[in-house]
Amino acid sequence: MQINGRAEDPGRTISLTLLDNYAHWVILDPLRQRLFLNSTGRVLDRDPPSYISTIVVKVQCTNELVGTVILHEVRIVIRDKNDNTPRFQQPRYYVAVNELTPAGTIIFTGFGEDNGATDIDDGPNGQIEYGIQYNPNDPVRGCNAFLLQTVTYLSYRTME
Ligand SMILES: [Ca+2]
Ligand SMILES: [Ca+2]
């Protein structure tokens, strides 16, 4: 933010004041006309449960020569960082399959929206992909017995 005018003495022509700084996320240095993030002791977290997506403050600029006052709105958009990993809703999933089940039979569809994995990050950062890894404790070794067909779910959430 740069406003034409001199805020420092001597010869000051303007003075700046920060308004509507509700959660005190922003600090104004009026002399150097700079805004700083004030996250001391807190985390500026866009993810749940904080949901901090935007910070809006107003900077009041007073013309010291003629006394006029103008307000500048400053809107700070908080971008999401991919700082969460997907988590499954259940620690284990169980499936019972009859012997002699034909190849190609669907045996599990339990990774639906409320039962699969979730990632609380937003947009692409919350995208989930499923895959099958080799389990060294599996007695059926060396056999590609299972195929995961649906590999991608997108997790969407609405920002307030
Ligand atoms: Ca993520
Ligand atoms: Ca995040």
> Same CATH fold, 81-159 and 14-77?
yes
What confidence tens digit (pLDDT) does each residue in 95-126 have? 999 999 998 899 988 887 678 999 999 999 99
Residue extents of the structural domains in the chain = 14-77, 81-159
Ligand number with the minimum distance to the CA of 51: 2
Distance 82 CA to ligand 2 centre (A): 5
What confidence tens digit (pLDDT) does each residue in 60-90 have? 999 999 999 999 999 999 999 999 999 999 9
Ligand number with the minimum distance to the CA of 80: 2
Distance 27 CA to ligand 2 centre (A): 24
In terms of average pLDDT, the best of 36-40, 45-49, 153-157 is 45-49
- Beta-bridged to residue 71, according to DSSP, are 60
Q: What is the pLDDT of residue 9?
A: 80
Distance 80 CA to ligand 1 centre (A): 10
Look up residue 59 and give its two tokens.
Answer: 């900077």
Angle ∠(114,119,124) on CA atoms, nearest 5:
120
Q: What pTM did the predictor assign?
A: 0.70
Q: What is the pLDDT of residue 40?
A: 84
Distance 133 CA to ligand 2 centre (A): 26
- Peptide bond preceding 124 in cis form (omega within 30 of 0): no
CATH fold for the domain made of 81-159: Immunoglobulin-like (2.60.40)
Pairing of strands 54-63, 14-19: antiparallel
DSSP track, 90-144: SS-------TTPPTT-------STTTSEE--S-GGGG-EE------TT-SSTT--
Write the CATH number of the domain with boundaries 14-77.
Answer: 2.60.40.3430
